[in-house]
Amino acid sequence: METGILDGKSLSKQIKEEIAREVADWVGQGNRRPHLAAVLVGQDGASRTYVDHKVKSCAQVGFESTLIERPADIGQADLLEIVAQLNDDPAIDGFIVQLPLPAHIDDQAVIEAVDPAKDVDGFHPSNMGNLALGLPGFVPATPAGIMTMLERSGVETEGKHAVVIGRSSIVGTPMSLLLSRSGSPGNCTVTLCHSRTQDLAAHCSRADILVAAVGRPGMVKADMVKEGAVVIDVGITRVEDPTAKRGFRLKGDVDYADVAPKCRWITPVPGGVGPMTIVSLLNNTLEAARRSADQA
Ligand code: NAD
């Protein structure tokens, strides 16, 4: 069996070109360019990198973007005021507040303050509720990107046993809902594993599709993976590496060298799930712009 690499980098490039064509058509029909705003609080290096990628990707597809930066000691009321202004600004189609926020800010209060119609991260309870009920709404970008990757790569999901490791509200839980929902891709039988799961290896080794979203570098080893499985590695952890230019390397949750030979398909880190996440955010923003034009 040959191992196929699910190359998120090249797939995302192709999908961005498709989005750019859709934007050109949209603008050609007399609409204004979709506009994404991103709020970045503090100086966390990883958060800055993610936001920079998002802003750069907006330019690549012909969106407007606005980056709002505030220091780590911003008060919660001031941050909520920024959210309220973005909610009210008719020139902004969608926005994100990059997580994690500093400890003195209640993430959930900020998430709940975002207008669900502009919540292109899909974190608002109303969008999460729609996802759970199978109703239209914004789907969190990382699991949505994984579904797109499975679909575009022709990975069969129907009737398969999917195991998701991690139950966060931004990755693991929505991933389990998407894989189990009726549709294609979808129709999986899903096992959701987490920090209190007993005998994780036994669950994983029964997976046709294994999604690791934990944040523990290299935790998934070959003896936890079934021969011929599809392995999706969501984890991104910065691991110190003095030989690397930036002093660190990105490592996934899967021990790639150990696991890849057993897989039918596997995602690399970097260049797998990460770029697909950004594509989903762009798709959500385009969708928000279309909906807002429909209502104008
Ligand atoms: P999180 O910390 O919110 O959740 C981690 C989950 O892992 C928890 O639900 C916990 O129950 C589970 N867990 C912890 N230890 C475990 C163990 N020993 N066995 C089984 N489960 C265990 O993290 P998150 O926000 O869901 O992110 C997970 C990883 O994915 C991180 O590395 C993050 O950087 C990465 N991530 C990547 C992208 C991307 O675009 N590629 C997007 C979001 C998150």
CA atoms of 97 and 123, how far apart (whole Å): 10
Q: Which domain holds residue 234?
A: 141-274
Q: Whose CA is nearest to atom 3 of ligand 1?
A: 168
- Is 262 in the active site? no
Residue 254's identity, in one-letter code, is V
User: Would residue 82 count as lying in a domain?
Assistant: yes
For residues 163 and 101, membership in a common domain is answered with no
* 213 alpha carbon – ligand 1 mean position (Å): 4
Instruction: Select which of 16, 54, 118, 226 is catalytic.
Output: 54
Q: Please report the pLDDT score of residue 168 as a whole number.
A: 98
User: Would residue 133 count as lying in a domain?
Assistant: no
For residues 147 and 258, membership in a common domain is answered with yes
User: Would residue 281 count as lying in a domain?
Assistant: no
Q: Whose CA is nearest to atom 42 of ligand 1?
A: 142
Half-sphere exposure of 190 (CA within 13 A, CB side): 22
Provide mean pLDDT across the span 103-127.
Answer: 98
Instruction: Select which of 16, 93, 118, 121 is catalytic.
Output: 121
Determine the 3-state secondary structure of 97 from DSSP: strand
The domain boundary, picked from 80, 115, 150, lies at 115
Find the length of the chain: 296
Cβ < 6 Å from ligand 1: which residues?
142, 165-168, 170-172, 193-195, 197, 200, 213-215, 234-237, 273-274, 277
Gyration radius (Cα) of the chain, Å: 19
Q: What is the pLDDT of residues 151-178, one digit of tens each?
A: 999 999 999 999 999 999 999 999 999 9
For residues 102 and 179, membership in a common domain is answered with no
User: Would residue 247 count as lying in a domain?
Assistant: yes
Provide mean pLDDT across the span 97-102.
Answer: 97
CA atoms of 280 and 286, how far apart (whole Å): 10
| CATH code for the domain of 57 | 3.40.50.10860
* 11 alpha carbon – ligand 1 mean position (Å): 24
For residues 172 and 263, membership in a common domain is answered with yes
Q: Whose CA is nearest to atom 12 of ligand 1?
A: 166
Q: Which of 168, 170, 232, 233 to mutate to test the pocket of ligand 1 (most atoms within 8 A of CB)?
A: 168
Q: Please report the pLDDT score of residue 295 as a whole number.
A: 84
Give the pair of three-digit tokens for residue 215: 């944040």
For residues 149 and 216, membership in a common domain is answered with yes
Is it the case that residue 296 has pLDDT exceeding 80? no
Which residues are CB-contacts of 79 (< 8 A; sequence separation ≥ 6)?
39, 41, 70, 97, 101, 105, 110
Q: What is the pLDDT of residues 189-223, one digit of tens each?
A: 999 999 999 999 999 999 999 999 999 999 999 99
User: Would residue 135 count as lying in a domain?
Assistant: no
For residues 151 and 69, membership in a common domain is answered with no
For residues 146 and 100, membership in a common domain is answered with no
Closest C-alpha to 267, from 237, 229, 238: 229
**Stated pTM of the model:** 0.97
| CATH code for the domain of 237 | 3.40.50.720
For residues 147 and 266, membership in a common domain is answered with yes
Is it the case that residue 26 has pLDDT exceeding 90? yes
Q: Whose CA is nearest to atom 35 of ligand 1?
A: 235
Q: Which of 148, 164, 234 to mutate to test the pocket of ligand 1 (most atoms within 8 A of CB)?
A: 234
* 251 alpha carbon – ligand 1 mean position (Å): 13
Which ligand 1 atom minimizes the distance to the CA of 172? 26
Question: Phi and psi at residue 42, in whole multiples of 5°?
Answer: 85, -170
**Cα–Cα distance list, 188 to 160, 203, 258, 264 (Å):** 5, 15, 26, 17
For the chain, the helix, strand and coil percentages under 3-state DSSP, each to the nearest 5: 45, 20, 40
CA atoms of 248 and 244, how far apart (whole Å): 6
For residues 250 and 174, membership in a common domain is answered with yes
User: Would residue 19 count as lying in a domain?
Assistant: no
User: Would residue 108 count as lying in a domain?
Assistant: yes
Residue 1 banded pLDDT, cuts 50, 70, 90: confident
User: Would residue 210 count as lying in a domain?
Assistant: yes
Q: Whose CA is nearest to atom 14 of ligand 1?
A: 195
> What average pLDDT is seen over the chain?
97
* 209 alpha carbon – ligand 1 mean position (Å): 17
Is it the case that residue 100 has pLDDT exceeding 90? yes
For residues 266 and 183, membership in a common domain is answered with yes
The number of distinct structural domains making up the chain is: 2
For residues 147 and 93, membership in a common domain is answered with no
Q: Whose CA is nearest to atom 5 of ligand 1?
A: 214
CA atoms of 168 and 143, how far apart (whole Å): 11
For residues 170 and 267, membership in a common domain is answered with yes
